[in-house]
């Protein structure tokens, strides 16, 4: 069955008080509209039509080019919005109406609704709310059949008492929309063409309206303000946290954990508070992550200890490594097994070999470090001359004394030693000691200057 998904996203979102179109605001690191698109893309043989208006260009540029963006230049109502897509809807398809600002609708709920649609039936997603104010109310006849939707502003007092509300999400044959949409009127309290009026038209034509309820209320929660966005974000994060805990990760406080992307976890992973995971991240078994750590698009092996306040971005960390606290591993960092990168160490485009250590206060960039190398505190690879970047190679078993500057391109051979405080500008060959620092001179009976009277 062909499905034409119509996503409404032309509204301004005044209450966000933002220059950014509402549907471009992010939830869990992804725009609201992208959440909806990702869900819609899970439906087979679907075409996606996105109705845009306010901030149309910006929204259009942010979405996949396969999405058919349809401009609604004046926002004359939800019925008018859907009407703009009529020329693009396939004959005989089922049209699924979604909202760009309702990001967490679940595929299972949509499938349930879609399965009810045919020439004689419409699927409508409704929910019962204790506080239904603001929403369209579902009107049912004596036999309990849905006969209409009445908007809050058009409702009579007894209708306002109804708790079953219209979520806005519905599925209907395209042939029915072609029949009914052109006949909508805007003779109502808001002077808008209401999509919801098709429900009464359907009932009058003896088409049955089958209602479905979402698995969870948050699935149909719209975002109209930053407060609502924050509430939905927390709910979503809490739900992701539960899934991770079920997969074998301990979150020391699930309320202080943020996953903005996809995280795969092994068993007995322990994540301390305020950890942020972005993009695609994989953690092996027995990984411990200290507080306030950020990990972006990285793969971490088994038995790795990442201590507090570290940042890892596009890195590969092998089994048994130890990182941080306060380490910054930038893109292209690869640590072989049991490597150690300690506090206030920054690395970039660097491979650190098995069992090698960079324990304190160093910058290691564009470097190839062999196995069992020890890099002393305060070592800097001078990889940049202001124009070009150069490589530093440090071979197996080398020992770099503290406070060394390695002016790249430069090579330190196997088991070579560099004396502390050296500025190394040329190769130190295997087993050699390289030392390049001012010679110490001691002056006896040195008198310190005295303060003038």
Indicate which residues carry an active-site annotation: 360
Q: Does the footprint of ligand UD1 cover residue 168 (CB under 6 A)?
A: yes
CB closer to ligand UD1, 42 vs 73: 73
Which string of DSSP letters, residue by residue, matches 147-210?
EEEE-GGG--HHHHT--EEEEEEEEEEHHHHHHHGGG----STT----TTHHHHHHHHTT-EEE
8 binds ligand UD1 (CB under 6 A): yes
The number of residues that bind ligand UD1 (CB under 6 A) is 27
Binding range to Ca ion, per CB under 5 A, among 176-184, 222-230, 288-296, 444-452: 222-230
**H helix or E strand, kind and range, residue 51:** strand 46-52
What residues contact 179, with CB distance under 8 A and at least 6 apart? none
In terms of CB distance, is 222 or 320 closer to Ca ion?
222
Helix (H, G, I), strand (E, B) or coil at 323: strand
Q: How far is the CB of 77 from ligand UD1 (least distance, A)?
A: 5
Compute the distance between CA of residue 304 and CA of residue 320 in angstroms, rounded to an integer: 5
Segment near Ca ion (CB under 5 A), from 12-20, 204-212, 220-228, 320-328? 220-228
Binding segment for Ca ion (CB under 5 A), chosen from 41-49, 59-67, 221-229, 402-410, is 221-229
User: For ligand UD1, which residue of 2, 26, 68, 75 counts as binding (CB under 6 A)?
Assistant: 75
Taking the C-alpha atoms of residue 286 and residue 326, their distance in angstroms, rounded to an integer, is 21
Q: Residue 77 binds what, of Ca ion, ligand UD1, none (CB under 5 to 8 Å, by partner type)?
A: ligand UD1
| Strands of 176-335, DSSP E | 208-212, 249-251, 257-265, 269-271, 275-283, 288-289, 294-296, 299-300, 305-306, 311-313, 315-317, 322-323, 328-329, 333-335
Q: Which one of ligand UD1, Ca ion, none is in contact with 101 (Cβ closer than 5 to 8 A by kind)?
A: ligand UD1
Find residue 138's DSSP bridge partners: 149
**Shortest distance in whole angstroms from residue 117 CB to ligand UD1:** 18
176 binds ligand UD1 (CB under 6 A): no
Build a one-symbol-per-residue string for 180-219: x at contacts with ligand UD1 by CB under 6 A, - elsewhere.
--------------xxx-----------------------
Tracing tokens 């963006």 back to the chain, one arrives at: 69
CA dihedral sign, ordered 335, 338, 339, 344: positive
**Is residue 151 a contact point for ligand UD1 (CB under 6 A)?**
yes
Q: Which is nearer to Ca ion, 9 or 406 (CB)?
A: 9
> Within 247-276, where are the H helices?
none
Q: Which is nearer to ligand UD1, 223 or 323 (CB)?
A: 223
CA dist., res. 330 & res. 310, Å (int): 11
Does 76 sit near ligand UD1 (CB under 6 A)? Answer: yes
Smaller CB separation from ligand UD1, 77 or 123: 77
State yes or no: residue 300 binds ligand UD1 (CB under 6 A).
no
Using the Cα atoms of residue 194, residue 195, residue 196 and residue 200 in order, give the sign of their dihedral: positive
Whether cis (ω within 30° of 0) applies to the bond prior to 409 is yes
CB atoms within 10 A of CB 34: 19
Measured between alpha carbons, how far is 387 from 246 in angstroms, rounded to an integer? 50
Q: Segment 53-72, which members bind ligand UD1 (CB under 6 A)?
A: 72
Kindly state the smallest distance separating residue 1's Cβ from ligand UD1, in Å.
Answer: 25
Query: For residues 369 and 385, is the Cβ–Cβ distance under 8 A?
Result: no
**Cβ distance to Ca ion smaller for residue 222 or 370:** 222
Rule CB under 6 A: is residue 21 a binding residue for ligand UD1?
no
Q: Check residue 11 for interaction with ligand UD1 (CB under 6 A).
A: yes
- The span from the CA of 340 to the CA of 362, in Å, is 12
- The CB-of-100 to ligand UD1 minimum distance in angstroms stands at 5
The DSSP code sequence of 99-119 is: ETT-TT--HHHHHHHHTT-BT
Partner from Ca ion, ligand UD1, none contacting 151, C-beta within 5 to 8 A by type: ligand UD1
Q: Does 101 bind ligand UD1 (CB under 6 A)?
A: yes
Residue ranges in contact with Ca ion by CB under 5 A: 222
Residue ranges in contact with ligand UD1 by CB under 6 A: 8-11, 51, 72, 75-78, 80-81, 99-101, 135-136, 149, 151, 165-168, 194-196, 222
């Amino acid at each position: 069955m062909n499905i034409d998904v119509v996503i409404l996203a032309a509204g301004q979102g005044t209450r966000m008080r933002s220059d950014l179109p509402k549907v471009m605001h992010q939830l869990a690191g992804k725009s609201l509209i992208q959440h909806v698109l990702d869900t819609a893309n899970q439906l087979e043989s679907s075409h996606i039509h996105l109705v845009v208006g306010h901030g149309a260009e910006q929204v259009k540029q942010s979405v996949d080019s396969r999405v058919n963006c349809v401009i609604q230049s004046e926002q004359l109502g939800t019925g008018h919005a859907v009407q703009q897509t009529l020329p693009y809807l396939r004959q005989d398809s089922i049209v699924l109406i979604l909202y760009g600002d309702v990001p967490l609708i679940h595929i299972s709920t949509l499938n349930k609704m879609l399965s009810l649609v045919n020439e004689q039936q419409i699927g409508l997603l409704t929910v019962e709310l204790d506080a239904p104010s603001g929403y369209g109310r579902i009107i049912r006849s004596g036999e309990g059949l849905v006969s209409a939707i009445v908007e809050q502003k058009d409702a009579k007092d007894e209708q306002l008492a109804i708790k079953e509300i219209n979520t806005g999400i519905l599925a209907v044959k395209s042939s029915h929309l072609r029949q009914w949409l052109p006949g909508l009127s805007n003779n109502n309290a808001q002077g808008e063409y209401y999509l919801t009026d098709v429900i009464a038209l359907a009932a009058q034509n003896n088409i049955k309206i089958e209602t479905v309820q979402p698995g969870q209320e948050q699935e149909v929660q719209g975002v109209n303000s930053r407060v609502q966005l924050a509430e939905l974000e927390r709910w979503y994060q809490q739900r992701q946290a539960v899934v991770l805990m079920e997969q074998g990760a301990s979150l020391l406080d699930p309320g202080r954990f943020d996953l903005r992307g996809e995280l795969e976890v092994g068993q007995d992973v322990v994540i301390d508070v305020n950890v942020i995971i972005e993009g695609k991240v994989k953690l092996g078994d027995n990984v411990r992550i200290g507080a306030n750590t950020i990990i972006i698009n990285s793969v971490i092996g088994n038995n790795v200890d990442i201590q507090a306040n570290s940042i890892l971005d596009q890195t590969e960390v092998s089994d048994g490594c130890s990182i941080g606290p306060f380490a910054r591993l930038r893109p292209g960092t690869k640590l072989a097994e049991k490597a150690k990168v300690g506090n206030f160490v920054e690395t970039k485009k660097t491979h650190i070999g098995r069992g090698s250590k960079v324990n304190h206060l160093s910058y290691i960039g564009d470097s190839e470090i062999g196995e069992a190398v020890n890099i002393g505190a305060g070592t800097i690879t001078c990889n940049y001359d202001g124009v070009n970047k150069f490589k530093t190679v440090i071979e197996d078993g080398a020992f770099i004394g503290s406070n060394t500057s390695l002016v790249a391109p430069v090579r330190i051979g196997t088991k070579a030693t560099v004396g502390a405080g050296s500025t190394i500008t040329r190769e130190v060959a295997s087993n050699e000691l390289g030392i390049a620092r001012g010679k110490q001179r001691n002056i006896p009976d040195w008198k310190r200057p005295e303060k003038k009277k």
